[in-house]
Chains A and B, each alone.
Chain A
Amino acid sequence: MSILVDRSSRVLVQGITGNEGSFHTQQMIEYGTQVVAGVTPGKGGQLFEEKIPIFNTVKEAVAETKANVSIIFVPPVFAPDAIYEAAQAGIKTVVCISEGIPAMDMIKVYDYLKNIGTHLIGPNCPGIISPGKCKVGIMPGFIHNEGTVGIISRSGTLTYEAVDQVTRQGLGQSTCIGIGGDPVIGTRFIDALKLFKEDPETELVVLIGEIGGTAEEEAAAWIKENFNKPVVAFIAGQTAPPGRRMGHAGAIISGGKGTAAEKMKALENAGITVCKSPAEIGKTVAGILK
């Protein structure tokens, strides 16, 4: 088992002929992901790398190839449209890599998806991987190892760091989800935790948060009441100054809210093991599992 994506996932790439889209499609195929279709409006009927059919619309692609997961690489201006198109075509897991979608547009996307049961991961995220089974994202596949640690993170390369540390301990991951660093995202910590709760393969969850917002505090409260697997957490930005946006649109301490200290305290109060140092994530996980 794993969550959201596995060996049965049939992946569709929206924006398959763009620079990013074509590069990462090749990487995903190399990893063993079943990429079954691409969509680029106007290029329907062509083949990607002489084997993957390209369609004009997601609806056609789904009808012809039974694609059930989509990954989006289109520019941010067109990304909301691409998400709506995938959802309307009945795709239940949509991963949006695009960075820079206006928050006002995402508010509407979030509201639309809420009622139709489509999981959106991202935007502005590295995607999702169930090691050894399926990679729907831009993360380096080789640092992962099939195993029992679930990872949820707001960041990209910091997730790779955590994955790498877990792998170096001789352990592996069930599924790793980068939920993205934007203020409005499709899958929040709690949504992913609910899925990990039901996954028998996942024994422990690593939660990587950062400054800004209250998502970690909400996750802490939910974990305390509902989650019985061990959780290890790290919060990036203990040294970040207030009022400054640290790269991600969502990573900002405003009005004294959203500090790392507050989040770490909330997590500790919920019985979660909090690592002060980003170098201790792997060791801490191993200490609990071994």
Chain B
Amino acid sequence: MNIHEYQAKEILRRYNVAVPRGKVAFTAEEAVAAAEELGGKIVVVKAQIHAGGRGKADGVKIAKSVDEVRELASKMIGMKLVTHQTGPEGKEVRRVLIEEGIDIARELYLGIVLDRAVSKLVFMASTEGGVEIEKIAAEKPEAILKEYVDPKISLQAFQARKIAFGLGLEGDQVKNAVKFIASLYKAFTESDASLAEINPLVVTSDGKVLALDAKMNFDDSALFRHQDILEMRDLNEEDPLEVEASKNHLNYIKLDGNVGCMVNGAGLAMATMDIIKLAGGMPANFLDVGGGANVDTVRNGFKIILSDANVKGILINIFGGIVRCDRVAKGIIEAAKSIKLDVPMVIRLAGTNAEEAAELLQNSGMNFEVAQTLEEAAKKVVGALN
């Protein structure tokens, strides 16, 4: 799960990770009130969307007066912000973060991720702050310091010192950075984060070390023990169809093509998308209906696929293992009767009782095309598009 920058900073603040003072605002008036509360001469107005690259796209602005805060906030709230991560359609800004201006001496990078190759958490740090870590990794991999955490002994102070000295810090800066690193690690593990990225991590001219920006993602499997984080979910940042699908326990992701697909299992769903493309079409979605594939899941699946106006054909691919294909076929027939299906549909059911299932579908009087193999199914649905 993703959250906004201001929410990540709220979590970090709870763990005594140093962040600038600031407050979220949903309107220009709230922005002004927040700026007055901060009291300083310079404040920063930051658009809150779930995408990076805001600075380059006019989503982060400095204001030198309350009037400027009002002007900037009213311009930002409601605007479509287009960054390299939002896609060309952009994202509507609904909240802004009003934050105190910081006297920056140095900009650094600090992140924590799970390194799947060794199943350990790893700190990544670099003196190239403000730049995307992927870019540094590609161009100057030697500029990234890595510090692995042994799960048995957790993060040790010497490791935090190693990172701090490695970043070229000195004196009080080191002490502040060590405290920052240890607190960030605690925040990460105790909140079941899957990613924390402080970019930039800044050193001020008086030696403070703080998170100028903060991005945190969380492990969906662990949200059951973090009600407070679950409440930070912002549905406006998600595709409405995907939100609807998740309510019905369907795993749906909207794509740009015109062949809707419904599959059981994530790997097979991706393979089905791939073969649609190889056959000359483009998948309109990823949809994993899970192991069950009964009438309700199939009906909800149809509804979601068909609410995408680009869909010109549907491919259903179910590999029945424990779930019997004849039951799935009955589910499809019943669901199809209860819903207006005006696009061609190709069904491929394989595995347990596949032959009985094909017979049921063929004798249903419905307008289904039946296919036996994956390849045949993909060719048939792409052929039926025109």
- Report which A residues bind B (CB closer than 8 A): 23-24, 27, 76-77, 100-104, 106-108, 110-111, 138-140, 142-143, 153-161, 164, 181, 183-184, 208, 210-211, 213-215, 218, 234, 236-241, 243-244, 246-251, 255-257, 260, 276-279
Q: Does A246 contact B275, Cβ atoms closer than 8 Å?
A: no
Contacts of B265 in A (CB 8 A): 155-158, 247
Closest chain-A Cβ to B320's Cβ sits at a distance in Å of: 7
Contact flag A108-B151 (CB < 8 Å), given A156-B267, A246-B253: yes
B79 at the interface (CB under 8 A from A): no
| CA gap between A151 and B270 in the complex, in Å | 19
Q: Does A158 contact B120, Cβ atoms closer than 8 Å?
A: no
| CA gap between A158 and B319 in the complex, in Å | 8
Contacts of B150 in A (CB 8 A): 111
| CA gap between A247 and B251 in the complex, in Å | 6
Contact flag A276-B278 (CB < 8 Å), given A102-B219, A103-B194, A104-B219: yes
| CA gap between A140 and B264 in the complex, in Å | 14
* Contact among B274, B275, B319 for A237, CB-based, below 8 A: B274
| A-B contact list, 9 entries, CB within 8 Å | A110-B151, A111-B120, A158-B267, A181-B267, A184-B116, A236-B267, A241-B255, A246-B253, A247-B251
* Contact among A155, A161, A214, A234 for B350, CB-based, below 8 A: A161
For the complex of A and B, list the 5 residue pairs with the smallest distance between their C-beta atoms, beginning with the closest.
A155-B267, A247-B266, A157-B265, A158-B267, A102-B222
Contacts of A157 in B (CB 8 A): 263-265, 267-268, 319, 321
Q: Does A279 contact B151, Cβ atoms closer than 8 Å?
A: no
Q: Does A111 contact B219, Cβ atoms closer than 8 Å?
A: no
Q: Does B270 contact A103, Cβ atoms closer than 8 Å?
A: no
Residue count of chain B within 8 Å CB distance of chain A: 57
| CA gap between A183 and B272 in the complex, in Å | 23
B117 at the interface (CB under 8 A from A): yes
Q: In chain B, what residue has the closest Cβ to A211?
A: B270
- CB contact list, B121-158 vs A, under 8 A: 121, 132-134, 137, 150-152
B66 at the interface (CB under 8 A from A): no
Closest chain-A Cβ to B116's Cβ sits at a distance in Å of: 5
Closest chain-A Cβ to B148's Cβ sits at a distance in Å of: 11
B352 at the interface (CB under 8 A from A): yes
B161 at the interface (CB under 8 A from A): no
Q: Does B268 contact A158, Cβ atoms closer than 8 Å?
A: yes
* Contact among B119, B282, B286 for A240, CB-based, below 8 A: B286
Contacts of A139 in B (CB 8 A): 321
Q: Does B270 contact A251, Cβ atoms closer than 8 Å?
A: yes
| CA gap between A161 and B274 in the complex, in Å | 14
Contacts of B117 in A (CB 8 A): 213-215, 218
- CB contact list, B354-380 vs A, under 8 A: 373-375, 378
Contacts of B350 in A (CB 8 A): 161, 164
Contacts of A251 in B (CB 8 A): 266-267, 270
* Contact among B222, B266, B269, B282 for A104, CB-based, below 8 A: B222
Contact flag A246-B219 (CB < 8 Å), given A111-B119, A160-B319, A214-B116: no
| CA gap between A14 and B165 in the complex, in Å | 49
Contact flag A238-B277 (CB < 8 Å), given A153-B267, A181-B267, A278-B271: yes
Contact flag A161-B119 (CB < 8 Å), given A108-B151, A184-B114: no
Contacts of A214 in B (CB 8 A): 116-117
Q: Does B224 contact A77, Cβ atoms closer than 8 Å?
A: yes
Q: Does B192 contact A111, Cβ atoms closer than 8 Å?
A: no
Q: Does B134 contact A183, Cβ atoms closer than 8 Å?
A: no
Q: Does B321 contact A237, Cβ atoms closer than 8 Å?
A: no
Q: Does B266 contact A244, Cβ atoms closer than 8 Å?
A: no
Of the listed residues A138, A240, A244, A257, the one surrounded by the most CB atoms of chain B closer than 10 A to its CB is A240
Q: Does B264 contact A102, Cβ atoms closer than 8 Å?
A: no
B283 at the interface (CB under 8 A from A): yes
Q: Does A101 contact B221, Cβ atoms closer than 8 Å?
A: yes
Q: In chain B, what residue has the closest Cβ to A157?
A: B265
Contact flag A107-B266 (CB < 8 Å), given A160-B351, A277-B275: no
Contact flag A239-B321 (CB < 8 Å), given A103-B221, A154-B267: no
Q: Does A100 contact B221, Cβ atoms closer than 8 Å?
A: yes
Contact flag A104-B192 (CB < 8 Å), given A249-B219, A279-B375: yes
Closest chain-B Cβ to A233's Cβ sits at a distance in Å of: 13
Contacts of B273 in A (CB 8 A): 237-240
Q: Does A164 contact B351, Cβ atoms closer than 8 Å?
A: yes
- CB contact list, B254-309 vs A, under 8 A: 255, 263-278, 282-283, 286, 288
Instruction: Give 8 A-B pairs besides A107-B114, A237-B270 with Cβ atoms closer than 8 angstroms.
Output: A23-B322, A111-B120, A155-B267, A157-B321, A239-B270, A246-B266, A251-B266, A260-B274
* Contact among A101, A143, A218, A238 for B274, CB-based, below 8 A: A238
Q: Does A246 contact B321, Cβ atoms closer than 8 Å?
A: no
